Homo-oligomer: A and B are copies of this chain.
Amino acid sequence: MFDLDINEVSKKVGVPASTLRFYEEKGLIASVGRRGLRRLFDPDVLERLALIALGRSAGFTLEEIGRVFTREGLRQIDRKMLASKADELDGSIRKLTAMRDGLRHAAACPAPGHMQCPTFRRLLGLAVLRTADAKARARVRAKAS
C-alpha cells in the first residue's frame, strides 16, 4: 500500500494532475491501478517524472522522451542520436553563454547605444553566425514563474 494517488504525485513533483493524466495518455508514465476512480502510481513514477523533466529541459519533445527514455534510464538503441543531441546542446550552451554575458554587460554598460559597443557587437556576431549556418536551430524558452 505504498502507492501514491494522483494528487500526492502532483504535489510531490509540482506538476498538475491534468499534466499527469496527459502524460499517461501519451504513454510516458503508467498508473498501477485505481482507488475508485482515482489513479494510483508506483513511487517509481517520481523518478520517471524527474527523468521526463530533465529531458524536457534539455529540449527533447515528449515524443522523443517516449522513444529514448525507458524506466531503466536511457535506451541504448541509438548512441549516435544521444551523441548528436549532446553536440546540439553544446551549441545551445555556447549561445546561451554569449547571451548571458551580453545581458550582464548591457546591464552594466553605460554606453547609450549598444550597437557602438564592441562587446555587444561581438555578441551579435555570434548570433549572425549561427543564423547563417541554420543547421541546428535551437530555441530556448525561459520564463519566470
Contacts and interface: CB of A to CB of B under 8 A. Distances in A.
A80 B23 CA distance: 37
Please tell me how many copies of the chain the complex holds.
2
Contact of A83 (B71, B103, B113, B130): B103
A98 to B, nearest CB: 8
A50 B124 contact: yes
Interface residues of A, number: 69
A54 B123 contact: yes
Contact of A103 (B51, B85, B131): B85
A35 interface: no
> Mostly helix, strand, loop or mixed at chain A's interface?
helix
A143 B142 CA distance: 17
B58 A86 contact: no
Contact of A141 (B71, B134, B141): B141
Interface of A: 13-15, 47, 49-51, 53-54, 56-59, 61, 71-74, 76, 79-80, 82-86, 88-93, 95-97, 99-100, 102-104, 106-108, 112-115, 117, 120, 123-124, 126-128, 130-132, 134-145
